[in-house]
Amino acid sequence: MGVNARNSDAPTPLMVRLTLSREVLEEEMRARVRRGEMSLETYLTDVKGYRPEHIGPLLPQFHKAIFG
């Protein structure tokens, strides 16, 4: 009996690769914010997908998460 990868909790090589790719991309975007190449507002709207009118309350949380 085979294992159905779609309904299994076991990670497949493709899932692992995609997860790592997303994590690497996320860390690179945060590094760009730290270096000043991208504003925190741009990160939240363009990368994370938040609407500009909703990012106000999120700024302190993301600032703390990115800059420590």
Residue written as token pair 């938040």: 50
- Domain membership of residue 61 (yes or no) is yes
- Domain membership of residue 18 (yes or no) is yes
Are 54 and 61 contacting, i.e. CB atoms less than 8 angstroms apart? Answer: no
pLDDT per residue as tens digits for the range 23-54: 888 899 999 999 999 999 999 999 999 999 99
- Domain membership of residue 49 (yes or no) is yes
Instruction: Identify the domain containing residue 34 by its residue range.
Output: 12-67
* Whole-structure pTM value: 0.69
Q: What are phi and psi of 36, to 5 degrees?
A: 85, 10
Question: How many domains does the chain divide into?
Answer: 1
- Domain membership of residue 1 (yes or no) is no
- Domain membership of residue 4 (yes or no) is no
Cα–Cα distance for residue pair 21/65, rounded to 1 Å: 20
Rounded mean pLDDT of the chain? Answer: 86
Output the pLDDT for position 12: 77
**Non-local CB neighbours of 43 within 8 Å, separated by 6+ positions:** 29, 30, 32, 33, 62, 66
